[in-house]
Amino acid sequence: MTRERATEYGFAATHDVPIPYLQRIRDYYQGLG
């Protein structure tokens, strides 16, 4: 389904996904070592 069609039918846009906050925090602390 194209992005225009998805919007027309009320579906979420392709970029509208859960933001991985917990993974970001994990990566930050693992980056600190």
Partner 1 sequence: MLQTLRDLFDALLPPKATEPPEVAEHTLQLATAVLLVEVMRSDPEIGAAERSAVLAALRAKFALSADEGDRLVELADRASREATDYFRFTSKINESFSMEQKVGIVEYMWRVAYADGTLGAHENHLMRKVADLLYIPHGAYVGAKMRAKQASGAE
**Which residues here bind partner 1, judged by CB under 8 A?**
18-22, 25-26, 29-30, 32
Q: From the CB of residue 6, how many other CB atoms can be counted at a distance below 10 Å?
A: 14
Q: How far is the CB of 2 from partner 1 (least distance, A)?
A: 25
Q: How far is the CB of 10 from partner 1 (least distance, A)?
A: 11
Which residue type is seen at 6?
A
Nearer Cβ to partner 1, position 2 or 24? 24
3-state secondary structure the chain: CCHHHHHHCCCCCCCCCCCCHHHHHHHHHHHHC
Q: How far is the CB of 6 from partner 1 (least distance, A)?
A: 19
